[in-house]
């Protein structure tokens, strides 16, 4: 399989670079410049290397750098932003801090004929974000592009396949960004587009079938996409040797626990143990109102429940986890020391002795995980499910959690989901009901009521770090409000949360 190394110098768009490359069906992996050596690069037989951007200046003390021998490996290199400056600096050119202001945002780019810019017009729009710039060309390099503020927005080696660009082709604002990656991957590196999810499935099934022969594998199924896809993939490989434990803590949305059971036990015929831990969780949560304490109790109780089940099952050799690539990259920028301490199910491996942990999705981005899920036959609703917090409805019930409040919230939330599905062509990125701790006076028929207030929440977001509240059509809000107050006994008021993030968070707790 063709592989591209994305050598990470700490820039904010580094995952995006790997995703752009994978979108073109070429496998790309992100590794920190700290954990790579020239020997490792040679051994892994990469077809090309991308030096990413980064927050430093090349001439700072301790600034990220790399062994210049990498430029003599006869592997094509593309430097982006800081990576471009580093190539210039390593090759004897000069990098300087701009005396004017930083160049930031959309900028007109002037390109000269070059393999990297094949198929691009002489002028186009690119995305810039830098203060330093290449001020003097290294020997043996040519200029290939410039902007008004940046004399060397693109350079390349006269003979070797070493290219450097100051702007960001991975950002959609760069008009011909995809074309630049295409040119680099297919013309310059000579890659074949051989990274497909069908191949990934075949390879993984084959690999785990061999490696896990006669081993018993245990997986904690949460109902989320990652653990669901892990389960189905491993089930293909080891069949009945896989046991999934689904801890039903009673804090899931209406119908969700039944759906998980139905999908995995009945449709896929897996060994599924549904642990009814509802009383156990509710008892531990009784009287608890502090949000962080709720999270802590749920996390701990989850581990204890899982442990008990694992012991009852007898010898389990392998623990499977639904860790995905962003979990790994974000926890340690591809640094292997950190990868080992990263576990999805907080600390499980240290309390139960397993011979091995497997994480079949550890190299996949979320959209790739979804594609694998669909190809393996998981229901679309499950694969494209909106995110749901691990502590579940506990963080959507303000104040103490009781069975009555849980049931009330599940009903209200089910109505919201149903109406959004019925009336909005594109559902918000996340939407749910929360139960506030406020009761208010209402009137029903001739009688006075004193019921709870339900808050509706819906947001638009790319990354959940920031979010904008969704403009749900008023007609839809009206139907939801009507139905909740009529159908959910104990609710006398419905409000719509119009707070964005920041200053609010998506969840209420
Ligand atoms: P906030 O509320 O921080 O949420 O704006 C951002 C995203 O994270 C989810 N979330 C959680 N997920 N455990 C999780 O697994 C949690 O404790 C948790 N808290 C928030 C939230 O649903 C949203 O998608």
Q: Which helix (H) or strand (E) holds 319?
A: strand 318-320
Integer-rounded Cα radius of gyration of the chain: 27
DSSP state of 400: -
Residue 157 binned pLDDT confidence (cut-offs 50, 70, 90): very high
DSSP 38-77: HHHHHHTT-SEEEE---SS-TTSTT-----GGGGGSS--E
Q: What is the mean pLDDT of the chain?
A: 93
157, 168, 235, 249: the active-site residue: 168
pLDDT of residue 337: 33
Confidence of residue 347 (pLDDT cuts 50, 70, 90): very low
> pLDDT category, 352, cuts 50, 70, 90?
low
pLDDT in tens, 53-77: 999 999 999 999 999 999 999 999 9
Strand partners, 271: 243
Band of residue 333 on the pLDDT scale cut at 50, 70, 90: very low
Token reading at 435: 């139960």
Among 29, 81, 359, 411, the active-site one is 81
Instruction: Considering the domain delimited by 197-383, tell me its CATH architecture.
Output: 3-Layer(aba) Sandwich (3.40)
pLDDT at 307: 87
Number of neighbouring beta carbons within 10 Å of residue 108: 10
Residue 479 has a pLDDT of: 98
Cβ 15 vs Cβ 338: under 8 Å: no
| CATH no., domain 3-188 | 3.40.50.880
Residues in the chain: 509
* Residues of each domain in the chain carrying CATH 3.40.50.880: 3-188
Residue 507 near ligand 1, beta carbon < 6 Å? yes
CA distance 304 to 297: 10
Ligand 1 center–CA 500 separation, angstroms: 15
pLDDT beyond 80 at 101: no
Distance 280 CA to ligand 1 centre (A): 23
H helices, E strands: number in the chain? 16, 20
Indicate if ligand 1 lies below 6 Å from the C-beta of 291: no
Q: For residue 163, give Cα distances in angstroms to 69, 148, 298, 361.
A: 16, 20, 51, 32
Q: Which of 46-55, 283-292, 302-311 has the lowest mean pLDDT?
A: 302-311
Averaged over 207-225, what is the pLDDT? Answer: 95
Lowest mean per-residue pLDDT among 144-148, 178-182, 432-436, 462-466: 462-466
Give pLDDT tens digits for 224-248. 999 999 999 999 999 999 999 999 9
Kindly report, as residue ranges, where domains of CATH 3.40.50.620 are found in the chain.
Answer: 197-383
The pLDDT, as a whole number, for residue 100 is 75
From the CA of 386, give the closest atom in ligand 1: 24
Instruction: Give the count of beta carbons closer than 10 Å to the beta carbon of residue 347.
Output: 11
Q: Which of 170, 371, 411, 509 is catalytic?
A: 170
Q: What is the pLDDT of residue 342?
A: 33
Whether pLDDT at 422 is above 80 = yes
Q: Residue 404: is it exposed, middle or buried by C-beta count within 10 angstroms (0-12/13-18/19+)?
A: exposed
The ligand 1 atom nearest the CA atom of 387: 24
Q: Which tokens is 444 given?
A: 């029903």
Residue 338 has pLDDT above 80, yes or no: no
506 CB within 6 A, ligand 1: yes
In the three-class reduction of DSSP (H, G, I as helix; E, B as strand; rest coil), residue 464 is classed as coil
CA of 505, closest atom in ligand 1 = 5
Question: Is ligand 1 within 6 A of the CB of residue 464?
Answer: yes
388 to 293, 329, 345, 432: CA distances (angstroms): 19, 21, 15, 10
pTM of the predicted model, to two decimals?
Answer: 0.82
Please tell me the distance between residue 146's alpha carbon and the centre of ligand 1 in angstroms: 43
- Ligand 1, atom 9: closest residue by C-alpha: 389
Whether 235 is catalytic is: no
Per-residue pLDDT averaged across 396-413, rounded? 97
The average pLDDT across 254-259 equals 94
pLDDT > 90 in the chain, percent = 84
Mind listing the pLDDT tens digit for each residue in 126-149? 999 999 999 999 999 999 999 999
Rounded to the nearest whole angstrom, what is the distance from the C-alpha of residue 396 to the centroid of ligand 1? 11
Q: Measured in whole angstroms, how far is the alpha carbon of residue 75 from the centre of its chain? A: 30
Q: Tell which atom from ligand 1 comes closest to the C-alpha of 508.
A: 2
- Please give the structure tokens belonging to residue 291: 């949000």
Ligand 1 lined by 85 (C-beta under 6 Å):
no
Confidence of residue 445 (pLDDT cuts 50, 70, 90): confident
Between helix 325-332 and helix 14-23 the angle, nearest 10°, is: 150
**pLDDT at residue 209, as a whole number:** 98
Ranges 110-114, 312-316, 457-461: which has the least confidence: 312-316
**469 forms bridges with which residues in the sheet?**
459
Query: Is 170 a known active-site residue?
Result: yes
Residue owning the nearest CA to atom 22 of ligand 1:
389
Parallel, antiparallel, or unpaired: how do β-strands 447-460 and 491-496 relate? parallel
The token pair at 109 is 């780019």
CATH 2.60.40.10 for the 396-496 domain, yes or no: no
């Amino acid at each position: 399989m063709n592989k591209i190394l994305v050598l990470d110098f700490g820039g904010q768009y580094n995952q995006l670079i790997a995703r752009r490359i994978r979108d073109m069906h070429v496998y790309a992996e992100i590794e920190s410049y700290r954990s790579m050596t020239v020997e490792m690069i040679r051994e892994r037989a990469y077809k090309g290397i991308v030096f990413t951007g980064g927050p430093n200046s090349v001439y700072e003390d301790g600034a990220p750098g790399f062994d210049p021998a990498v430029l003599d490996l006869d592997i094509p290199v593309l430097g982006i932003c800081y990576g471009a400056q580093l190539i210039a600096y390593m090759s004897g050119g000069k990098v300087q801090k701009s005396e004017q202001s930083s160049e930031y945002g959309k900028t007109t780019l002037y390109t000269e004929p070059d393999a990297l810019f094949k198929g691009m017009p002489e002028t186009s729009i690119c995305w810039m974000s830098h203060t330093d710039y290449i001020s003097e060309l290294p020997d043996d390099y040519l200029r290939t592009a410039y902007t008004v503020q940046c004399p060397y927005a693109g350079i390349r080696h006269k003979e070797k396949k070493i290219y450097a660009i100051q702007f960001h082709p991975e950002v959609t604002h760069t008009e011909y960004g995809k074309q630049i990656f295409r040119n680099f991957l297919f013309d310059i590196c000579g890659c074949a587009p051989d990274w497909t999810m069908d191949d990934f499935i075949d390879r993984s099934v084959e690999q785990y079938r061999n490696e896990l022969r006669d081993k018993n594998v245990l997986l904690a199924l949460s109902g989320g996409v990652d653990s669901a896809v892990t389960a189905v993939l491993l089930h293909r490989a080891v069949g009945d040797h896989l046991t999934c434990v689904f801890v039903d803590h009673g804090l899931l949305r209406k119908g969700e626990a039944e759906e998980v059971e139905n999908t995995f036990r009945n449709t896929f015929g897996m060994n599924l143990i549904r642990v009814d831990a509802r009383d156990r969780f509710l008892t531990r949560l009784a009287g608890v109102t502090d949000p962080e304490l709720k999270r802590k109790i749920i996390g701990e109780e989850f581990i204890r429940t899982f442990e008990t089940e694992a012991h009852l099952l007898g010898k389990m050799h392998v623990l499977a986890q639904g860790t995905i690539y962003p979990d790994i990259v974000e926890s340690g920028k591809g640094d292997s020391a950190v990868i080992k301490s990263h576990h999805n199910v907080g600390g499980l491996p240290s309390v139960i002795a397993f011979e091995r942990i497997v994480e079949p999705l550890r190299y996949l981005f979320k959209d790739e995980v979804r594609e694998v899920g669909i190809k393996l036959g998981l229901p679309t609703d499950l694969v494209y499910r909106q995110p749901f917090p691990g502590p579940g409805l506990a963080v959507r019930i303000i104040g103490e959690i009781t069975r009555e409040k849980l049931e009330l919230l599940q009903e209200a939330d089910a109505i919201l989901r149903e109406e959004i599905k019925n009336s909005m062509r594109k559902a918000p990125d996340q939407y749910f009901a929360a139960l506030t701790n406020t009761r208010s006076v209402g009137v029903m028929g001739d009688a006075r009521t004193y019921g709870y207030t339900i808050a509706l929440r819906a947001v638009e977001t790319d990354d959940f770090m920031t979010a904008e509240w969704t403009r749900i059509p008023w007609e839809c809000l009206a139907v939801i409000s009507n139905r909740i107050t009529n159908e959910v006994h104990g609710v006398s008021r419905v409000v719509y949360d119009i707070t964005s993030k920041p200053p609010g968070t998506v969840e209420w707790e």
